[in-house]
Amino acid sequence: MYRLFLGSFFDGGGTIRNCYAIGNTSGTDFIGGVVGQNDIAGTVDLCYATGNVSGTSSIGGIIGEFDFSTLRNCYATGNVTGDGSQIGGLVGFNH
């Protein structure tokens, strides 16, 4: 199964606050325990993920790809693995 942008996706601002995810997540690109991709000026605050996250590239325990945004008071406890590049415990790729 092909999974791109697994997790929620939000664009153009806004806030995700006081959330959590407890299941395992897997896919290909832009895979996060809570958010697959956040694009431009969003905030993720007071969130956590406890499941394992796996994929190819842009893989993160909380967020797969995070663009020009803010991450505060979040944590991830699961294993994060990937076969490609941009793999991180909290955020796979940030710019």
Which tens digit of pLDDT belongs to each residue from 46-57?
999 999 999 999
Sheet arrangement for strand 25-26: 25-26, 53-55, 80-82
DSSP letter assigned to residue 65: E
Which tens digit of pLDDT belongs to each residue from 1-34?
344 445 555 555 688 899 999 999 999 999 999 9
Determine the structural domain holding residue 82 and report its residue range.
8-94
DSSP letter assigned to residue 4: B
- Average pLDDT, stretch 54-70? 92
60 within a domain of the structure (yes/no)? yes
24 within a domain of the structure (yes/no)? yes
Residues 6+ apart with CB under 8 A from 43: 14, 15, 16, 17, 69, 70, 71, 72
Burial of 65 (0-12, 13-18, 19+ CB in 10 A): buried
2 within a domain of the structure (yes/no)? no
Per the structure, how many domains does the chain have?
1
More confident residue, 88 or 7: 88
| Single pTM value for the model | 0.85
- Average pLDDT, stretch 65-92? 94
17 within a domain of the structure (yes/no)? yes
30 within a domain of the structure (yes/no)? yes
50 within a domain of the structure (yes/no)? yes
